[in-house]
Amino acid sequence: MTTAAAPMPTTRAHFGWSAIVRVGVVQACIGALVVLITATMNRVMVVELGLPATLAGGLVALYYTIQLGLRPRMGHLADHSRALPRWIAGGIAILATGVTLAATALGVVASAPALGYPLLVAAFLLVGLGASTAGTLGLTLLSLRVAPARHARAAAIAWLFLIVGFIVSTIVAGKLLEPFSMEALRRTALTIGGGCTVAALLAMLGIERSVHVPAPRPTAAGGDFVQALREVLADDVSRRFSIFVAMSMVAFAMQDLILEPFAGAVFGLSPADSTRISGVHQGGALVGMLVTATLATRIGTVTSWARWGCVASGVALIAIALAPLTASLAFLKGSLLTLGIANGCFAIGAIGAMLGLAQRGGESRAGLRMGVFGAAQAIAQAGGALLGAVASDATRALFGNDVLGYGSVFALEALAFVAAAALAGGVVAATPRRDATTMDDLLAAGA
């Protein structure tokens, strides 16, 4: 009598949904900490401390700009390390340290500027380092460990958790900052920073055991970062996709600082009403994200959703520019809702495409490609927001008219979106296996 041999244990090659959600928790921590810098502390610098807005904007720009060099290096690290979860948790700890140091430095600025300003610069450098580490390596982990069919939904989870982080952080900070004082600001940063550090550590604890994680494969360039970067940038698809990310993110970010001023100056809305108008746009973005996450695996590809999201965003922006001619608040709300939906489709499609294209040519350069894409996104986001604000001031001064001034900027933003869509849909490369000439073809072919 024979007994059946016990089945050999199997290992999953890809993350399940619980592991994807755990990476999403890290994204929420990034959002919770970054919003303290870009919103709460930005306001404290300008309003409570009376510092020039240019100084506050310059520090935020420093946070984005440093990522241009750091994200590719963090991605290169990912290609030669099996310890991504530990590096990700460490990145959150660095980010939390930078945010806490920034809050402390703001209290020092008022009494000892010669010490406070250098501390502020150091704090924002730490914030850039932490965000580059946790952000780049988190997306790299998703790219390497999530099945291609789940990229769109994984991208949606990452983005939605980022927004959840924004929301939770602002609610908690709102309660901890009452009554306001510099000491309350420091305690708030320390509390949220400590909470995020613990949450990231728990989220990453043991996540590698949920999948089989192969050892990093040696590459022709070995550990030479400069040579590896040259190889990635020499690849036509990676280079042109980076340009697409940069161009589309410039367009995406241009509206950040001008939508509410436009609603107030042109339609006469109060701060509360303009905030509600902005909420219409954000609600539309949430709908667009959910629709793309649901349908991108059944209809088209993630790149096609990103491309047509860009086109629809351009159309919606033209409608917003023309809204003052209708004198209809309902038309403006409808246009903003459409813009939000289109932005949501673009965002999830672009991140999903990023996850797929990071592995173009194999996993050996996946982290570095993700770092290059992330660097393009970060610098474009900073430049786009600044360009939108400067352009609105310049065009309103040139035309002496708010309607023409803001309308010109929205038209410029629409043009940038359409140009990005054309780049995504154009001929980008040919593969040796077949005439795969568009990004959609390359993703579908697994190039």
Interior angle at CA 20, CA 17 and CA 22, nearest 5 = 115
Highest mean pLDDT (candidates 43-57, 68-82, 242-256, 326-340): 326-340
CA nearest neighbour of 238 among 131, 376, 344: 376
- What kind of fold does domain 225-447 have according to CATH? Growth Hormone; Chain: A; (1.20.1250)
Higher per-residue pLDDT: 223 or 285: 285
Q: Quick check: 219 pLDDT over 80? A: no
CA nearest neighbour of 103 among 30, 45, 31: 45
Q: Tokens 């990522």 correspond to what residue?
A: 67
Residue 102 confidence class, pLDDT cut points 50, 70, 90: very high
- Report domain extents, the chain: 13-211, 225-447
Model-level pTM? 0.70
Q: Quick check: 353 pLDDT over 50? A: yes
Q: Quick check: 437 pLDDT over 50? A: no
Question: Same CATH topology for 13-211 and 225-447?
Answer: yes
d(CA 105, CA 123): 8
Highest mean pLDDT (candidates 15-19, 51-55, 297-301): 15-19
d(CA 333, CA 343): 15
Q: Quick check: 43 pLDDT over 80? A: no
19: exposed, middle or buried (Cβ count in 10 Å: 0-12, 13-18, 19+): buried
| pLDDT score, position 267 | 86
10: exposed, middle or buried (Cβ count in 10 Å: 0-12, 13-18, 19+): exposed
- Which CATH class name applies to 13-211? mainly alpha
Q: Quick check: 441 pLDDT over 90? A: no
Residue 233 confidence class, pLDDT cut points 50, 70, 90: low
| pLDDT score, position 96 | 97
Q: Tokens 């510092």 correspond to what residue?
A: 51
Highest mean pLDDT (candidates 69-73, 394-398, 416-420): 416-420
Q: Are 375 and 68 in contact (CB under 8 A)?
A: yes
CA nearest neighbour of 367 among 155, 148, 73: 73
For 156-173, what is the mean pLDDT?
A: 84
| The amino acid at 206 | G
For residue 54, give both structure tokens.
């240019």
Residue 10 confidence class, pLDDT cut points 50, 70, 90: very low
Higher per-residue pLDDT: 106 or 425: 106
| The amino acid at 65 | T
On the question of a cis peptide bond just before residue 72, with omega within 30 degrees of 0, the verdict is no
Higher per-residue pLDDT: 176 or 372: 176
Which CA distances in Å does 31 have to 154, 192, 208, 379? 17, 11, 24, 17
Residue 8 confidence class, pLDDT cut points 50, 70, 90: very low
Q: Quick check: 364 pLDDT over 90? A: no
Q: Quick check: 41 pLDDT over 80? A: yes
| pLDDT score, position 222 | 44
For 116-131, what is the mean pLDDT?
A: 93
Which CA distances in Å does 49 have to 110, 116, 227? 7, 12, 46
d(CA 435, CA 341): 33
Residue 323 confidence class, pLDDT cut points 50, 70, 90: very high
Q: Quick check: 330 pLDDT over 50? A: yes
